Structures are given as structure tokens and as C-alpha cells.
Amino acid sequence: MASSENHVSVKMYWIICIVLCAITFLEWVIFQFESIRVNAMIMVPALLLMSVVKFILVCGWYMHLKYDHPVLKYYYMAAFFLATAVMMALAVLMG
């Protein structure tokens, strides 16, 4: 049975932390420019992409999904996509 072995080095954890902080800082920086902030064509994809990257880094490395048993990855992805489908259904029904 799998035990809590540490597949990720401490150095990698800090590198990911720096990347996460850098992305957050970038989000704050682009928010400061009103001309960019009100431009949906730039802001929406940029912010969503940055969120997705942060999500993948935390789930993959901090939550060890990248290194753990594959059943956990598929289990979580199934729940995540099902929840997303419920959200979309609600948006259509109530929106």
C-alpha cells in the first residue's frame, strides 16, 4: 500500500511557491492598469489562464496528484468535472 513518501524535493516546493506568488503579483499588476482591466478580451482569458496554472500547480505538486496513485487523480477529476457540469446546468437554468 502506498505510504506518504516524499516525491517532491523542498527546493521544488519553494520554486512552485515563487511561481504562485509571481502569478498572483502579475494578476495584481495587470489589474492596476484601467485600460487593460476593462478590456474583457484580454482580462478574462488572462485571469482564467493564470488561475488554471495556479490550480494545476497546487493540485499536481502540493496535493501530490502528479506522484500519487492514478486512481486518486481520476477520482478527483471525475468529481471536479461533475461539479462543473452541475454549475453549468445551474447557470443555464437560473441565468
Partner 1 sequence: MGHAAHEHYTVTGVDNRKFAMWTLIGSECFLFGTLMINYILNKASTKINDPAIAKYLIEHGKKPFIAPTDVYDIDLTTISTFILLMSSVAMVLALDGCVRKNLKNFRLWTWVVIVFGLLFLGCQAYEFNHFIHKGLTLSANNFGASFFLLTGCHGAHVAVGVMLMGSVLIRSYLQPDWFDSVVVEVLGLYWHFVDVIWIIIFTVVYLLVYV
What's the first-to-final CA gap in the chain, in angstroms? 47
DSSP 38: T
Q: Is 74 in the site for partner 1 (CB under 8 A)?
A: no
Q: Is 35 in the site for partner 1 (CB under 8 A)?
A: no
Q: Is 26 in the site for partner 1 (CB under 8 A)?
A: no
* 61 CB-contact burial (10 Å; exposed 0-12 / middle 13-18 / buried 19+): buried
Among 11, 31, 33, 66, binds partner 1 (CB under 8 A): 31
Q: Is 60 in the site for partner 1 (CB under 8 A)?
A: no
Give the list of residues 6+ apart from residue 36 with CB closer than 8 angstroms, or none. 30, 42, 43
Q: Is 4 in the site for partner 1 (CB under 8 A)?
A: yes
CB of 5 to partner 1, least distance (A): 4
CB of 33 to partner 1, least distance (A): 11
